[in-house]
Amino acid sequence: MRLLGSIALIAVMGFGLPAQELSLKLPEEDMASAIPSQFYPGGLELWDQVWLIVGQPNAYNRRDRALIRVDLRRWLMAGEVGKIHLTWQYVPYGFTDRRELEISLLRQEEEGFDVYSAYVRPADLLSSWQVDGSEGAQSYRLDLTREANRALSAGRGSIAVRIRDCYSDEYGNPGARVQMVGIIANSIMLKVEE
């Protein structure tokens, strides 16, 4: 199984942190993999690993989206943060071409992180993430400094991003095949320079 091979690869990668960075693991309730009728706090358990799924995790036209919420409360009193990045490890599965994934910032993220509504809540495009399906496990780094400081300035204690697969959102699952990007839940880290 190519997927299991990728997981093994991640296990030996390791991460080196710059000394000034604070690295935080996000709690499970701050991440979710969601389809319109279901959600899985902390992600979806597959193959003995917890994943946030983007795309089609099985033969059905699920069009899963991933949701990640970042808790900013510890910087609220200071009012701003120097730099803040979100990083994660991911594995493409079931396709070999390039897929465009869209990362959006949910509007007016509030205290109550409701993934039911977060799946479809209004959001603003943050960045476009190109995933090469021919590669194995990879990592991604998302700069959220500007968005976090905007939220802190407005007194909001969190922000949330939503990740969707543009292909499956547009075409569905014509071949009834697993075609997804799996974000490894326990790899999601928040890196902060205060």
Partner 1 sequence: MLCKLLGFVLAVAGILSVGESHAAVVAPEGAAYRAIVIPDSAPDSVRLGASELARCLRQAGLGELAIVREQDAPRERPLIWLGDTALSRSHGIVADDFATDEFIWQTTEDGLIITGKDYAGEAIVWFQHPWTEQQVYNRELSLGAFGSAGTLQGVYRFLMKFCGVRWYWPGADGEVIPVLEHLAIPELNRRQRPAFAYRFPFFCDFADSADDALWFKRSGNGGRAPLAINHSMHLLVRHEAPDSAFFALVDGERDSIKRFCAATGIGEPCLSNPEVIAKAVEIICGYFAANPEQEVFPLVPSDGLTRICECPACQAQLDDRDPELGRFSNYVWGFVNTVAREVGRQYPDRLIGCIAYEKYLMPPSKVELAENVAVQLCKNRGAFGVAPYHDRVSAAIEAWSGRTENLYIWEYYLASTPPWRGFPVFFPDNIAADLQYLHRQGVKGEMIEAESWFGVAEPCPKYMMCPGTQHLNLYLTSQLYWDPEQNVDELLAEYYVLFYGPAHEPMRNFWEFARKLYQEDVKASLQGVSDPTNLEKISPLLGYSPEAMQTLSGYLSAARDLAPADSVYCRRIETIGHEFAQAEKLYSRLSRKSNPVLKIGETANVPERLVTTEGAAAQPPTWFTLEADGGNLFFRIACFEPEMSGIKANITENDDPGMWQDDSVEIYLAADPGNGENCVQLVISASGKIVQYRYSREFPYGLKETSCALTPRVIREANRWLVEIAVPHAVWGFVPGAEKEFKMNIFRTRRIHSGSSSCWSPIVGSRYYEPESFGSVILQEKLEP
* Nearest-5° Cα angle at 188, 182 to 192: 150
5 binds partner 1 (CB under 8 A): no
Binding mask 34-73 for partner 1 (x = CB under 8 A): ---------------------------------------x
For partner 1, the closer CB: 18 or 112 = 112
Closer to partner 1 by CB, 76 or 166: give it. Answer: 76
C-beta closer to partner 1: residue 48 or 111: 111
The least CB distance from residue 154 to partner 1, in Å, is 7
2 binds partner 1 per the rule CB under 8 A: no
* Segment lying near partner 1 (by CB under 8 A), choices 24-32, 91-99, 105-113, 117-125: 105-113
189-193/83-93 β-pairing: antiparallel
Q: 3-class SS at 77?
A: coil
Run of H or E including 2: helix 2-11
Name every residue whose Cβ is closer than 8 Å to that of residue 8 and which is 6 or more positions away in sequence: none
Question: Judged by CB, which is closer to partner 1: 14, or 155?
Answer: 155
Amino acid sitting at position 71: D
Q: For residues 68 and 190, what is the distance between their CA atoms, to the nearest angstrom? A: 11
Which SS3 state, helix, strand or coil, does residue 12 take? coil
Contact 91, 140 (CB under 8 A): no
Shortest Å, Cβ 194 to partner 1:
13
Euclidean distance between CA atoms 96 and 155, whole angstroms: 43
In the complex, what is the shortest distance from the CB of residue 91 to partner 1, in angstroms, rounded to a whole number?
33
Which residues bind to partner 1, rule: CB under 8 A? 73-74, 76-77, 79, 110-112, 153-157
